[in-house]
Structure 1
Amino acid sequence: MKKLIALISITILLISATGCGEKDDSSHAGETSNRDFQKNDYKKMISSNNELGFDLLATTEPDDNGNTFISPTSLLMALSMVYNGAVGETKEEIADVLQVEGIDVGKLNKANASLISIMNNDSDQVQLDIANSIWLNKRFQFQDDFAKNNKSYFNAEIQEINVDDRKSAEKINDWVRKATNYKIDKIADSPLDSDMVTMLINAIYFQGEWTNEFDEKETADRTFYLADGATKDAPLMKQKRELAYMENDNFQAVSLPYGEDGEMSMNIFLPKKNIDMIDFQEMLTNENWAEWKSEFQRKKGTIMLPKFQLEYEATLNEPLQRLGMTTAFDKDEARFERLIEEDAPLWISKVKQKTFIDVNETGTEAAGVTSIEIVTESSAIQPDDDSFYMEVNRPFFISITEEETDAILFMGTIFNP
């Protein structure tokens, strides 16, 4: 009998936006429906989330301009959901990559639910929501525990669809548009793959305005020094005020808050002229990150930051395999026996992430998409003592962080803004 290849496309979509547009509340499910978790359970995964980001940043290929921009939170939530269907060595390797060894699936689900409940929190200037949906080929059936865990802890809305109906793709894309405030127009192609089993989508919507906006009149083209010694003109925004700042022999760093209460922030790290970005990336560990964060102090000074926009795309199969997650990609070794009722071997064929960021005077728009496809075979100037001066005119590192949890939603190295 001719073998059929069925595709499970698990797509994790993480979107950030600022400044414009109205959110459609009907697309966001709000807080998780399962209450079997504690508020502080998220603490079990924050270190894992951030360390995953640093590990991935070090192993992911930059784009043609040398830039890398990833979302560790998107990948962690994607793999956490897949973790519910894994067993044996495959499960252990995913746990190793997520750095959640010793945390069983129940505790990891509760940690995700706790993080989701905290992030589903709005203010006048900052909005951060998480929504999940699962689109299931009506010819298949999830195992009860897999469906229950995703619905209870990730608050996923499960809908059955006819994959042979062209309207099914439009139905999925309509949900995506509403969930992302129309920032993402399409995630599913029409017609859908006739062998698709399920598409699982997670959307995080972030709308953030700077606590202190940059004055557009202060933005001016200045010289940006590229890593290869060449230069280019880049619009640098400018503001003078008291900010959270730190400096050591290796870099300057400043934290720019969003919203009235600074519940979100962008952290900018500018390596000193004698420290290249490769050397700085070797310093990026969760231990150093925690130490650096504790050393920020309020200080008056000047920050000049490029106004820029970029898109980034990477296939993460090889980076994840280098981090130790190998059997999940091997059709003979992978074990996802807790995913569907049907008796069929499953393995991951591709993990892909796409991201987008737009930094301007009013705030930040950022977006990240992580897709996991599973197939089955079946029959500057130095500051003085009183102030700092930080002109970001050479390659730099940024992160966007949720301050209450310290979860890094996005991070990247910008070589050519």
Structure 2
Amino acid sequence: SMGNSDLELLRDVRKPEDLALVQKYYDAHSTLPPLLSPGLVAALPAALPAALPAARPVASLSAPAEYARPCYSYSAGSGFGSSSSSSSSFGSGSGSGYVDVAASDDIARHILTFAQNLSNQINSNYRKTTVFSPLSIMSALALLLLGAKGRSYTELVAVFGQSNMVKLHEQFGLMLQDVQQPTRQTTSPHRQLDAWHSNSIRRSLRTYPRNRNAPQEVHVANGLFLQYGYSLNPDYRQAIIQIYKSDLQTLDFQRSPAVAKYNINSWVEQHTKGKIENILTDDLPQDTRIIMANALYFKAMWEIDFIGGATKVEDFYPNGEGTQPVLPVEMMVGAGAFPYYEEPQLNCRIIGLPYHGNLTTMYVIQPMRSSVTELAQLQQRLNADAIEHMISQMGRRSIIIAFPKLHITESFKLHSLLERMGIGGIFNPVQSDLSLIGTNQPAAAAPAAATDRSQADGLASLRNLVAQRQAAMSIQGPTPPSDLIVSDILHKVDFVV
């Protein structure tokens, strides 16, 4: 979930002037339900960064741009990260073309667990508001897992928690396709919504702006940029094209590194609608063989808009209300029936801010007595099961909400963070084994287009990769070292609320 932060904001919006403004807004929208027991949730959600060394033969880049122009109508969150709707499930078995119910739940749970573990690692070193996209990072790791053997495979597969590699990659690829569908009518027919959709006692009905019916935009893109003359394993090539819909480009890192850097930065900028620029800033090493890039873009309208004219600067208390320091923060105010739940065991509350169409929801988790210390302790106690349980218990409740305007841009490297999480083999020239990615055969004249073959060919290539991995495991004695190691995984996010 996106709801990890080092700073927390608490503001009492039940002041007379604010209540009067809310009542005036209600009077102008007679279809709204009356307020019942006004609650308060004022939180600063975010997530987390890192910093690390530079390059070697392979750089794996993850460039999500969770962006949406907001204030009162738009905001952003990360695919599965901010919406359990995406992680609840969808269809039937392997090869069906629908996301499998059990498999999708398991993959989504591991994405949430990965996000929590990564946030804890980052929080151990950083005391600031930060943001990252676990879905985008996991997409990049999936491309590495696809070509991994030995220790590299063992460490990466533990992150995803599945032993059936064909089903894992097939289902994750289908989930990434499904989450990009713009409306409920175009998603998988078996996709389930969170429980609060069905157990809500009331809904906010409102006269929406003219563009209210605009569908949400979710775009996930994977790209592989190959050194000219470097040969991909044909099965790896086919799997990344058909299962993960990856773009392939051949570049010359040795003779034209500046041109290669420009092309990669342009690809990322294009797939994030211009929100992520220059993800590559350093010069590329001439021994670079492959650069993997992942881009994620999200934009949607709020289901319940924040109130126009109610935004104003309020006091911000990082260490709890009434303490020092006090910082000025621009706050938005909204009112309506929001998904909400208070968890007594964790002494926290969770509120859902649905986007129009209810395909995606931003979930914000806040300690009941909020401060930096309380928030850090809560983050240590949270896990995927606890978050899923809280979401399952949510119901709509009439609430007045104060929420900060946010624009967070984060850029960091994951090398040392992943090493501390037990994913170190891919960065080590002695231990790395990504030998299923490349081949000793001559390179093809040009990369195959994503439409060259069918999904069935992609599944056949997945099975072939599994067979190649198993055959390598049966060989007695040392295996030849891989010609690839990962230099780093770069991650950049632009997040606006």
Alpha-carbon shift at residue 78 of structure 1 (Å): 0.8
Instruction: Give the Cα–Cα distance (whole angstroms) in 2 for the partners of residues 282 and 337 of structure 1.
Output: 37
Quote the residue 2:10 is aligned against. Answer: none
Please tell me whether the aligned partners of residues 135 and 161 of structure 1 are also in contact (alpha carbons under 8 angstroms). Answer: yes
Structure 1: distance between partners of 2:272 and 2:315: 35
What is aligned with 2:147? 85
Residue 307 of structure 2 is matched in structure 1 by: 215
Give yes or no for contact 1:210–1:256 (8 Å, CA) kept in 2.
Answer: yes
Match of 1:351 in 2: 489
Indicate the SS of the match to 1:338.
coil
CA contact (8 A) 1:225 1:231 kept: yes
**1:255 partnered with 2:352:** yes
List alignment gaps of at least 5 residues for structure 1: 21-33, 360-417
Alignment of 1:200 onto 2:292: yes
Retained in 1: the 8 A contact 2:225–2:249? yes
Q: Choose which of 149, 161, 181 in structure 2 pairs with 1:121.
A: 181
Alpha-carbon distance in structure 2 between the residues aligned to 1:178 and 1:35: 32
Aligned to 1:59: 121
Q: Distance in 1 between matches of 2:154 and 2:218?
A: 32
Letter of the aligned partner of 1:279 in structure 2? Q
Q: Secondary structure at the match of 1:70?
A: coil
For 1:372, the equivalent position in structure 2 comes to: none
Q: Structure 1 residue 301 and structure 2 residue 439: aligned?
A: no
Q: How far 1:52 sits from its partner (Å)?
A: 0.7
Q: Secondary structure at the match of 2:163?
A: coil
1:295-336 CA-to-partner distances (Å, cap 9, x unmatched) read 111111111011122233443233322322232232212211
**TM-superposition CA deviations, 1:360-403 (whole Å, max 9, x none):** xxxxxxxxxxxxxxxxxxxxxxxxxxxxxxxxxxxxxxxxxxxx
- Counterpart of 2:363 (choices 259, 263, 267) is 267
Q: SS of the residue aligned with 1:218?
A: coil
> 2: CA distance between counterparts of 1:347 and 1:168?
19
With normalisation by structure 2, the TM-score equals: 0.63
The SS at the match of 1:270 is strand
SS in 1 for 2:66: strand
What SS class does the counterpart of residue 102 from structure 1 fall into?
Answer: coil
Q: Which whole-Å CA distance do the structure 2 matches of 1:248 and 1:67 have between them?
A: 24
User: Residues 339-366 of structure 1, C-alpha deviation per residue, up to 9 Å, x if partnerless?
Assistant: 212575433332332323221xxxxxxx
Match of 1:100 in 2: 161
Aligned to 1:383: none
- 2:12 aligned partner: none
Q: Distance in 2 between matches of 1:246 and 1:86?
A: 42
Contact 2:62 2:489 in 1 (8 A): no
Deviation at 1:99, TM superposition (A): 3.7
Q: How many residues align?
A: 339
**In 1: Cα distance, 2:138 partner to 2:409 partner:** 21
Change (3 A) 1:262 1:167: same
Report the AA paired with residue 384 of structure 2: N
Which runs of 5 or more structure 2 residues have no equivalent in the other structure? 1-54, 71-93, 184-213, 441-480
Bigger-Rg structure (1/2): 2
Query: Hey, what's the Cα distance between the residues in 2 that align with 1:88 and 1:50?
Result: 26
- Confirm or deny: 8 A CA contact 1:246 1:254 kept in the other structure: yes
Give the superposition deviation at 1:214: 1.1
Report matched runs for 1:4-403 at 5 Å.
7-19=57-69, 37-40=97-100, 42-61=104-123, 66-96=128-158, 98-104=159-165, 106-123=166-183, 124-163=214-253, 164-165=255-256, 166-188=258-280, 192-227=284-319, 229-249=324-344, 250-259=347-356, 261-273=357-369, 276-342=374-440, 344-359=482-497
Alignment CA distance shift 1:185-1:349 (3 Å): closer
Q: Could you tell me how far 1:252 is from its partner in structure 2?
A: 2.3
Q: Classify 1:56/1:143 alpha carbon distance in 2 versus 1 (closer, same or farther; 3 Å).
A: same
Say which SS state the counterpart of residue 154 (structure 1) adopts: coil
Deviation at 1:191, TM superposition (A): 6.4
Native 8 Å contact 1:61 1:314 kept in 2: no
Question: For residues 63 and 258 of structure 1, what CA distance do their matches in structure 2 show?
Answer: 33
Alpha carbons 1:135, 1:199 under 8 Å: kept = yes
Q: Deviations over 1:208-257 (max 9, x none)?
A: 12112212311111111113842111111111111111113312221111
Distance in 2 between residues matched to 1:300 and 1:61, nearest whole Å: 33
Q: Distance in 2 between matches of 1:190 and 1:229?
A: 40
More strand by share: 1
> Counterpart of 2:475?
none
Q: Deviations over 1:81-134 (max 9, x none)?
A: 0001110122011111x1424232x22211221112202212424111222222
**Structure 1 residue 144: deviation in Å?**
1.4
By how many angstroms is 1:12 displaced?
A: 2.0
What code does the residue aligned with 2:163 have?
G
SS of the residue aligned with 2:314?
Answer: strand
CA distance 1:283–1:357, change in 2 (3 Å): same
Counterpart of 2:224, as a letter, is I
Q: Taking structure 1 as reference, are residues 35 and 188 closer, same or farther at Cα in structure 2, changes over 3 Å only?
A: farther
Bigger share in helix: 2
Report the TM-score, using the length of structure 1 for normalisation: 0.75
RMSD: 2.5
SS at 1:69's partner residue? coil
Q: Report sequence identity in percent.
A: 18
C-alpha distance in structure 2 between counterparts of 1:190 and 1:303, whole Å: 43
Q: CA separation in 2, counterparts of 1:301 and 1:134?
A: 46
Cα pair distance change 1:64/1:356, threshold 3 Å: farther
In structure 2, distance between residues paired with 1:201 and 1:351: 9
